[in-house]
Amino acid sequence: MKPEELQGRVRRAVDEFHMIDENDSVAVGLSGGKDSIALLTALSGLSHYYPKHFTVRAVTVDLGLGNIDLQADGEYCEKLGVPYTVIKSDIGRIVFDERKENNPCSLCAKMRKGALNRAMLDAGCNKIAYAHHKDDIVETFLLSLIYEGRLHVFSPVTYLDRSGLTVIRPLMYLSEQEIINFVNEYRLPVLKSPCPANGHTKREYAKNLLKKLETEAPGTKERMFTALLGSALFAPQLKP
């Protein structure tokens, strides 16, 4: 996949769900992983020719685990001409050492998003781009169904009334494998996850379950995504 195709897929999501408006300031939560670096690459490229003028910046929340080197991300942002901010935090220590959470993902995500939102507001941003792709959407639906007993999936556009920020998910038309292929082909800087719980979460179970279903009934993931796309569950949650 060439950068133009990546940007084209992202633009499709942006256009169909009206994710970006004139003079938006869009922040990408840069985790160091493949998804967020691909999203930053696509939005940075799109910002140069999209009909509606918008700016892009990157923000990383350092969990304070002491085992991640963000230099490569900083250098890549400089290459793209994208402002980059690193927020230091004690989230890792609180979640793993103090609270010793059995299910650390939930608390970590809440604290990380809280820190991210505050940084976005301080930087004057009005939108946050999350790097959720097609697989994430289907996996989230499975997680909600299996563990919560409800039909739920995050929407392409979500207005956060407490902060006044709007979350957008421009990678929704890309599969995880397509992102992996793109990142590998162009050798984008991807950092190994510093999280001690990486690979041992309920999401990992949903990911493996989806792979099994795809093996037994090829096309399952695409059919599930299409069904969700056409359902009321996937409706944008817009600013009132």
- Produce one character per residue of 86-101: b if its CB has 16 or more CB atoms within 10 Å, e if not: ebebebbebbbeeeee
C-alpha torsion sign, points 105, 108, 113, 119: negative
DSSP secondary structure of 91-126: HHIIIIIIS--SSHHHHHHHHHHHHHHHHHHHTT--
**Right CATH number for 3-135+153-194 from 3.40.50.620, 3.40.50.1400, 3.40.50.300, 2.40.30.10?**
3.40.50.620
Split the chain (240 residues) into runs of 10 and give each run's mean pLDDT.
Answer: 91 95 93 90 94 93 68 89 82 61 65 76 88 92 86 87 89 94 91 61 83 92 90 77
DSSP at 221: H
How is residue 203 written in tokens? 């999401």
Tell me what pLDDT residue 113 has.
74
Residue spans of the domains in the chain: they are: 3-135+153-194
Q: Which residue has 């099994």 as its token pair?
A: 212
Tell me what pLDDT residue 106 has.
66
Tell me what pLDDT residue 225 has.
92
Tell me what pLDDT residue 103 has.
63
CA-wise closest residue to 29 among 123, 97, 140, 106: 123
Task: Give the global pTM.
Answer: 0.86
What's the rounded Cα separation, in Å, for the pair 86 and 55? 18
AA identity, residue 51: P
DSSP at 8: H
Tell me what pLDDT residue 105 has.
63
Tell me what pLDDT residue 206 has.
86
What's the rounded Cα separation, in Å, for the pair 201 and 109? 13
> What is the rounded radius of gyration, in angstroms, for the C-alpha atoms of the chain?
17
What's the rounded Cα separation, in Å, for the pair 91 and 97? 10
Task: Answer whether 176's CB lies under 8 Å from 28's CB.
Answer: no
Task: Answer whether 13's CB lies under 8 Å from 112's CB.
Answer: no
DSSP at 234: G
Burial of 215 (0-12, 13-18, 19+ CB in 10 A): exposed
